[in-house]
Amino acid sequence: MDPLDLHVRAIDDAVLVANGITVRNLDISAVELENAIVRLDGDYTRGVRYYVATQVLSLHSTDTVLDIGGGRGYFYRWIEDRVRAIHVCDLDTIDGKIVPTARQHQCSVFDLDVEVLSACKFYLGHTFEHLQGDDDIRLIRLLGKVMPAHGVVCIEPLFVGGAYLEVSHSPRRPFDARAQAVTTVESDFPGNLVRGMGFARVYDVRALQERVLDTVRQAGLRAEVLAIRANGALLPDPHRYAFKRQALNHPLRVLRLTAYPESK
């Protein structure tokens, strides 16, 4: 058994609620979801994630989107005909089909002059969990500075479990003294080392509150933890989803951040 399977523990939404964290259900259309999957050549996993992201972000033709960590180009190709402009930043070489509405930035988001992009929608797809050290806190603070009134951030998935874990491919001390360091033998959860990753974090309830939700509030933003359903059933379907560790991947949770208009 992989060490990750010994330590990761799923929790249901009732545990979050019991600890004072509000969870809102986002119920999407199963028919529209299936149409999205067809558009993505039958890719159920990306279909779920990208369709949900477009609903969370509530995209409009006048929007400028910043895709943080979107180097493989799949999401920006998915939304290219729905928005005015897209910026994609990634440490790794950005690949995928270049589209006329997209501008690519091969750098960390912390080295990008985000404010001049005038983005109003921000997407982090399988990015937030890979932020090392205190970069999760640092990014939330950055978003609090650059978010316009009525701006929206979609962070998906949001990994929350019964134990606070920092997972990597080789033994290392945890960044956060509260976290338990886990070395995985076979899982790709920490991400590809070639792509500058090799680390992933699973929050427990306390870490989610202290590192994420408290920082969101201090940054002048509003946070919503979303449980994603299709016609009432929690997503994803474990039989169709590419990532098979249900303790990590079920249910699918999304963190939506919005700006308070009166503070902008």
Choose among 88, 86, 85: nearest CA to 107.
88
- Assigned CATH topology for domain 21-159+205-263: Rossmann fold (3.40.50)
SS3 57: helix
Question: What confidence tier does 93 reach under pLDDT thresholds 50, 70, 90?
Answer: low
Distance of alpha carbon 125 from alpha carbon 129, whole angstroms: 9
pLDDT at 237 over 90: yes
Q: Indicate the length of the chain as a whole number.
A: 264
Q: 144 with 254: CB under 8 angstroms?
A: no
For residue 53, count other CB atoms closer than 10 A to its CB: 22
Q: Cβ distance 65 to 114 under 8 Å? A: no
| pLDDT value of position 134 | 98
Cβ atoms of 143 and 156 closer than 8 Å: no
Average pLDDT value for the chain: 92
The per-residue pLDDT for range 132-187, each reduced to its tens digit, is: 999 999 999 999 999 999 999 999 999 999 999 999 999 999 999 999 999 998 89
pLDDT tens digits, 19-56: 999 999 999 999 999 999 999 999 999 999 999 999 99
Structure-token pair, residue 259 = 């700006």
Rounded percentage of the chain residues whose pLDDT exceeds 90: 80
Look at residues 185, 180, 135 and name the one whose alpha carbon lies nearest to residue 162.
180
Per-residue CA distances from 72 to 44, 92, 116 (Å): 17, 9, 24
**Residue 192 has which token pair?**
């590809």
